[in-house]
Amino acid sequence: MQNLTASALAEWLADTSRPAPVLLDVREPWELQTASIAGVVSIPMREIPARSEELDDDAQIVCICHHGARSAQVAMFLESRGHTNVFNLQGGIDAWSRQVDPAIPTY
């Protein structure tokens, strides 16, 4: 698992020459209603073991949660299941809100 800063993710998403990653948000639905990055795939952490097969093994996946702890666990789990291009958003949506898009509320 590789860690990715909010600013590095913003640069990646802005780079149209690079394939966009799957933004896997592992937070609960109420958290996504509070604050979310556009275009995320929502699979709550508790559902990942049963739904991980929905994710392309070859996709570049950026795991996102509130502060980065749950997403790091999910990233490690996905790697244990054979995913090789998995990233953890350091600081989660909170870092994204504070460093990239202040229009997204913090909670």
Alpha helical stretches, state H, the chain:
6-14, 29-34, 48-51, 69-80, 92-99
Q: Which of 4, 65, 75, 95 is catalytic?
A: 65
In this structure, the number of other CB atoms found within 10 A of the CB of residue 48 comes to 20
In terms of Cα–Cα distance, which of 65, 62, 31, 59 is closest to 45?
A: 65
Question: Does the annotation mark 65 as catalytic?
Answer: yes
**Which residue numbers are catalytic?**
65
